Amino acid sequence: MSGEAIQCYPALSADERYAVSGYQTIYRTTDTGHQVPLTHGRYEVGRIVVIDIRNSNFREITIDDAVPAKLHGTASKWTDVPIFLDNQRFTIALPSGAKRIFDVTS
């Protein structure tokens, strides 16, 4: 992963135990060491940071997505912020437009 990233706004669970925020990697390093934009194929599009406020710890969830050719050049954008469905599950739309549900405990 490169140091180049776009952050998404954080979300807080209704019970205020968990906060989730993401950052999206928008470049990758080639075999020759060059930074190139991620524009197509299956790749890591970012990570979600899950913060357990009660226990003062955090973990990261790696997000990968398959980006169709028609989205080349526009696939480097989060399309929305994380939204909690209940106290442990949240959803986020990926650059391809697909929505995925994640659990803060797994």
Let me know: does 25 contact 46? Beta carbons within 8 Å.
Answer: yes
pLDDT in 10s for each residue of the chain, 106 residues: 334 445 677 899 999 999 998 876 656 677 888 766 555 556 667 788 899 999 999 999 888 776 655 554 544 555 578 899 999 999 988 766 778 899 998 8
CA distances from 72 to 22, 32, 77, 93 (A): 21, 22, 11, 17
Domain ranges of the chain: 5-103
